[in-house]
Amino acid sequence: MKLIASITLAALACAALLLAETLNVKPGQWEATVTSQVTGLPPIPPEVLDKLTPQQRQMMEQRMKGNQTPRTTTTKSCITKEQIEKGFDVGDDDKSCTRTVVSSTSSKQEIKIECSRDNNKSSGTIRIEASSPESVKGSMQMSMTGGGRSMNLNSTFTSKYLGPTCEKDSK
pTM: 0.74
What type of residue is 116? S
Residue 86: predicted pLDDT: 66
> Contact at 8 Å (CB) between 70 and 5?
no
- Residues contacting 145, CB < 8 A, separation 6+: 43, 120, 121, 122, 151
**Eight-class DSSP state of 166:** P
Residue 3: predicted pLDDT: 39
Instruction: Specify the 3-state DSSP secondary structure of 55.
Output: helix
Q: Between residues 20 and 62, which one has the greater pLDDT?
A: 62
Residue 130: predicted pLDDT: 92
Q: Between residues 151 and 17, which one has the greater pLDDT?
A: 151
pLDDT range class, residue 171, cuts 50, 70, 90:
low
pLDDT digits (tens, 9 = 90+) for 3-32: 343 444 444 334 444 443 467 899 999 999
Alpha helix ranges (H) inside 19-134: 46-49, 54-66, 81-86
> Contact at 8 Å (CB) between 4 and 42?
yes
pLDDT digits (tens, 9 = 90+) for 74-103: 999 998 888 776 655 554 567 888 888 888
- Residues contacting 35, CB < 8 A, separation 6+: 70, 71, 72, 155, 156, 157
Q: Which among 145, 136, 140, 154 is positioned nearest to 36, based on CA atoms?
A: 154
